[in-house]
Homo-oligomer: A and B are copies of this chain.
Amino acid sequence: MYIEKIKSPADIKVLDTDQLNELASEIRTGLINRLSKRGGHVGPNLGFVEATIALHYVFDSPKDKFVFDVSHQSYTHKMLTGRSAAYFEDEHFGDISGYTNPEESEHDFFNVGHTSTSVSLASGLAKGRDLKGESGNVIAIIGDGSLSGGEALEGIDFASELESNFIILVNDNGMSIAENYGGLYKNLKALRDSDGKCECNLFKAMGLDYTYVADGNNIAELIDTFKKVKDIDHPIVVHINTLKGKGYKPAETYKEDWHWHMPFDPATGNTTVSFDGEDYGDMTCDYLMKKMKADRSVVTIVAAVPTNIGFTEDKRKKAGKQFVDVGIAEEHAVAMASGIAKAGGKPVFATHSSFLQRTYDQISQDLCINSNPATLLVNTASVYGMNDITHLGIYDIPMISNIPNLVYLAPTNCEEYFAMLDWSIEQDKYPVAVRIPCNGVVHTDKPVDTDYSDINKYKITQQGRNTAIIALGDFYQIGEELAKLIEEKTGTAPTIVNPRYITGIDSELLEQLKAEHSVVVTLEDGILDGGFGEKIARFYGSSDVKVYNYGLKKKFIDRYSVEEVLKENHLTPEQIYNDIF
């Protein structure tokens, strides 16, 4: 095996083309080994094996610097830079993250997991190089799906101003996570169809030099082109046409399913883990499908991750014009939703807590200043959500709940979630965000309210005394457990409050609590800084009521165990009990 001998990129440079092709095949074996057991980004990585080999063959990393967009095609790079054990040896799987990571290797420059960032980040490396009078190539590597993101387009537009060495490698496999949306993809197709020769060229229209490689999985052809652009004295786009999922039949055939895939049997491609039971993704999709059928002014919007709320291809087709995938373009999604609401439509934009970060200004300016009644569905907004440092869902409460006019709702169970979502879609006064619970699908047999127009009205779900537990969203269940424990230990049942509204204070209820409560405990599934509990602490700041806020520390955490994080943050009922008694 050649891969065993590759300790650093220098070891690739001695191989001939046949040996490099053999190496590519070995790398695919490693990829399938890890991905079949751990899950991960299958399609993008399989398609970019040859290009990565050619890059490391021609350029001299880390003096020449590769910056990967989203990192979804960085696995071969990891293998070629001393980390192949993490793909071939099961006991080393945990050595690496799924993203480029400067802590792992001097060949990685940024910890990246959001799309559309590579060109801007890399242009910074190039500008820094020029300011310091240094040399070396800087290469941004971006997939076609990431091109539609505002940050990428800003970066590509600005790149021509650099006037020095800068290479943008566009890895075009003809699709995003699902289909590509946006006019620029027609141009990419025209470029592919004309062998890069069509006059109308997005990259040239943005002031850049351009070259095309028809077979982006042909190592010799790639090496030839990379040699030509190495040490170039101005910015250039190298557009290569690759095959997503290359070398693994199921991934080549069902590209969307295999963009990211759960663990699978390599022989058949069948998934080896199964999720039984209910799932908010599918349930939300079913709800919205029904809603859209009944009301043609309802429209579901996603940004390149349709299946996260259950919109598989068949559902998308069935929803027709009432389903819009804007591609990687979250800013556009929010602003468009505001416009649709202004026109009397009923838009629902669903995205991850972490990706919502791209839309702060649009939520504030386009949506909330205008008070248009669009609905934002925020998912994986939780410590129980994704646990990669770049995909954490624990910051959205401080981020959006302090924007005026927004009503941010935190359902505590399944029935309340759908009641809130339905109310949000039907009302015409407020921009509303709904934080989808993330602690499994919890049902209630108690009736839930259907009308949430009495803004910031909290609900007492258990009347007790001495201690009041204000338990927000999917930490409500921790609040219930805590209440039981307090009652067991002290003989007195505490009061439980479901605040429901993240974005405001129920002064009347909080004032009333003073009469029979000396301690108020808040619980929220997110960081405490700037969050919900601090508003309660402020309210009671000058009173005699003692306030204890529970949530997470402000910190970037990575690949964590939920249980450990909860413990570290004193979030078990026992820990809280011991703190306050």
A149 is an interface residue with CB less than 8 A from chain B: yes
Looking at the assembled complex, report how far the CB atom of A425 sits from the nearest CB atom of chain B, in whole angstroms. 13
A339 touches B130 (CB 8 A): no
CB neighbours (8 Å) of A528 from chain B are 538
A527 CA / B548 CA spacing, docked (Å): 23
Task: Identify which of B67, B205, B537 contacts A201 (C-beta below 8 A).
Answer: B205
A228 is an interface residue with CB less than 8 A from chain B: no
A337 CA / B361 CA spacing, docked (Å): 20
Minimal Cβ-Cβ distance residue in B for A109:
B342
CB neighbours (8 Å) of A362 from chain B are 117, 120, 151
| Interface 0/1 of A155-196, CB less than 8 Å to B | 111111100000000000000000001111111000000000
A365 touches B357 (CB 8 A): yes
Interface residues of A in 194-238 (CB under 8 A from B): 199-202, 204-208
A176 CA / B48 CA spacing, docked (Å): 39
A336 CA / B549 CA spacing, docked (Å): 37
For A112, A339, A345, A362, the residue with the greatest tally of chain B CB atoms inside 10 Å of its CB is: A339
A398 touches B398 (CB 8 A): yes
CB neighbours (8 Å) of A537 from chain B are 534, 537-538, 541, 547
A150 CA / B403 CA spacing, docked (Å): 21
| Interface 0/1 of A510-531, CB less than 8 Å to B | 0000000000000000011111
**Which segment of A29-37, A280-288, A319-327 sits at the interface?**
A319-327
| Interface 0/1 of A292-329, CB less than 8 Å to B | 00001101000000000000000000000110101101
Minimal Cβ-Cβ distance residue in B for A543:
B546
CB neighbours (8 Å) of A126 from chain B are 339
A547 touches B556 (CB 8 A): no
B341 touches A124 (CB 8 A): yes
**Which segment of A83-91, A252-260, A366-374, A427-435 sits at the interface?**
A366-374
Looking at the assembled complex, report how far the CB atom of A485 sits from the nearest CB atom of chain B, in whole angstroms. 18
Task: Identify which of B114, B340, B342 contacts A131 (C-beta below 8 A).
Answer: B340
| Copies of this chain | 2
A537 CA / B534 CA spacing, docked (Å): 7
Total count of chain A residues near the partner, CB < 8 A:
119
CB neighbours (8 Å) of A566 from chain B are none
CB neighbours (8 Å) of A471 from chain B are none
A405 CA / B389 CA spacing, docked (Å): 13
A399 CA / B112 CA spacing, docked (Å): 21
B148 touches A150 (CB 8 A): no
Task: Identify which of B331, B335, B402, B533 contacts A395 (C-beta below 8 A).
Answer: B402
A493 is an interface residue with CB less than 8 A from chain B: no
Task: Identify which of B158, B369, B398 contacts A530 (C-beta below 8 A).
Answer: B398
A120 touches B331 (CB 8 A): yes
Whether A339 contacts B123 in the complex (CB less than 8 A), given A154-B332, A357-B361, A530-B402, comes out as yes
Looking at the assembled complex, report how far the CB atom of A542 sits from the nearest CB atom of chain B, in whole angstroms. 5
Minimal Cβ-Cβ distance residue in B for A541:
B547
Interface residues of A in 9-37 (CB under 8 A from B): none
A296 CA / B131 CA spacing, docked (Å): 6
A43 is an interface residue with CB less than 8 A from chain B: no
A418 is an interface residue with CB less than 8 A from chain B: no
A348 is an interface residue with CB less than 8 A from chain B: no
A132 is an interface residue with CB less than 8 A from chain B: yes
A124 touches B542 (CB 8 A): no
Looking at the assembled complex, report how far the CB atom of A528 sits from the nearest CB atom of chain B, in whole angstroms. 7
Minimal Cβ-Cβ distance residue in B for A336:
B124
Minimal Cβ-Cβ distance residue in B for A136:
B343
A168 CA / B59 CA spacing, docked (Å): 43
A40 is an interface residue with CB less than 8 A from chain B: no
| Interface 0/1 of A397-426, CB less than 8 Å to B | 011011111000000000000000000000
A264 is an interface residue with CB less than 8 A from chain B: no
A554 is an interface residue with CB less than 8 A from chain B: yes
A540 is an interface residue with CB less than 8 A from chain B: yes
A148 CA / B527 CA spacing, docked (Å): 34
A183 touches B199 (CB 8 A): no
Minimal Cβ-Cβ distance residue in B for A328:
B154
B541 touches A530 (CB 8 A): no
B341 touches A151 (CB 8 A): no
A159 CA / B182 CA spacing, docked (Å): 7
A440 is an interface residue with CB less than 8 A from chain B: no
Task: Identify which of B110, B182, B531 contacts A161 (C-beta below 8 A).
Answer: B182
B207 touches A338 (CB 8 A): no
Other A-B contacts than A121-B338, A150-B153, A160-B183, 16 sampled, CB-CB below 8 A, are A102-B370, A123-B336, A129-B343, A132-B343, A153-B157, A158-B332, A161-B181, A161-B326, A182-B207, A183-B207, A360-B361, A360-B399, A402-B531, A404-B555, A528-B538, A530-B530
27 A–B pairs (Cβ distance < 8 Å), ordered by A: A67-B339, A110-B339, A114-B365, A117-B365, A120-B332, A121-B336, A123-B332, A124-B339, A126-B339, A127-B343, A131-B343, A148-B158, A150-B154, A154-B331, A157-B184, A161-B324, A184-B206, A401-B530, A402-B529, A402-B531, A404-B555, A405-B556, A530-B530, A537-B547, A540-B541, A541-B541, A541-B546
